[in-house]
Structure formats: C-alpha cells, structure tokens
Amino acid sequence: MADLNHILKTHGLRTTAIRREVMQYFLNEGKAVSHQDVEGAMPKADRVTLYRTLAALEESGIIHQVIDDDTVKKYALCGTECSGDHHHDNHVHFKCERCNDTVCLEDIKIPHINLPQGYSVDSGNLLLMGTCKSCA
C-alpha cells in the first residue's frame, strides 16, 4: 500500500481509499479495463466517484486510454515516464480475439510513419489483434 501512496503523491494526487483501491485493481488485472469493469469489481463504489477517479488518474499520468475495436473506452496503467502533461504511451496494444483481453506491449513502439506534406500527428494508436499467449 505504501507504493500506491507514493505513486499518487508523486503524481500530485491526494491518497484516498478509492484511488488506492482502483490502482490496486489495475495492478491485479494487468490488462486494459473499462469503467464498467472497475465498477463491477467495486459494486459499493459510487459511479460518479469512479468516473472522477479514473479521470484524475488519467490526467495525472498514472493511467492512459487504450483504443481497441470496442466502443467502450478502456484504461491501462502508464509506464513510469508518464506525467499529467504528456503520456508516453507510444506503444502497441494487443487484443486477444478469444478472451477479449487488451494489453499494452510497452516494449514494442509504434513505428514512425512519414506523412504527406501538410499533415502532422498529435497522437496515434496501433492495435494488433490475434491470440494471446494464454489462449494459444
């Protein structure tokens, strides 16, 4: 629990029970999860409080949004380099088509793409889909 408190304080957030509980859930899951997933794991928590908690964790650089082919927004823990000013989530995401888990492949960076003149990139996402090692 001390590490969670340290992470929150390092990112400029007060340590609250719900923030620690949500972060512990992310650590235990080890994959991208939706607001509904978090809510299902914490049925006694208020929906608005969970929404605000996820927003605060994202704004401070503790979690980042993960884009996959679902219409539901998912989140995953950030690496240690992220901050509230800038997320360094320029890595590949992988979605298993069998179990539907989406995970960050932080060691695989999104390659640089040469765009035509006049285009500039603000952010990018790369989602690979297939079978994860647990389902293989």
Q: Please, which residues bridge with residue 127 across strands?
A: 93
The per-residue pLDDT for 50 is 95
Q: What per-residue confidence (pLDDT) applies to 51? A: 93
10-residue averages of pLDDT along the chain (136 residues): 84 94 93 92 93 94 83 76 60 91 87 91 84 93
Residue 88: predicted pLDDT: 58
104 marked ligand binding residue? no
CB-count exposure of residue 66 (10 Å: 0-12, 13-18, 19+): buried
Has 132 been labeled as part of a binding site? yes
pTM (predicted TM-score)? 0.75
Residue 23 CA to residue 11 CA, distance in Å, equals: 13
Which residue type occupies 47? R
CA-based nearest residue to 14, from 65, 49, 60: 60
Predicted local confidence at residue 1, as pLDDT: 55
Residue 66, pLDDT score:
86
The predicted pLDDT at position 106 comes to 83
Domain 2-130 has CATH 3.80.30.20: no
- Residue 108 in contact with residue 92, Cβ under 8 Å? yes
Is 135 within any annotated ligand binding site?
yes
- Per-residue model confidence (pLDDT) at position 87: 56
pLDDT computed for residue 74 by the predictor: 84
Buried-exposed string 13-51: b where 16+ CB fall within 10 A, e elsewhere: beeeeebebbbeebeebebbbbbebbeeebeebeeeebe
Domain regions of the chain by residue span = 2-130
Q: Is 11 annotated as a binding residue?
A: no
pLDDT of residue 80: 60
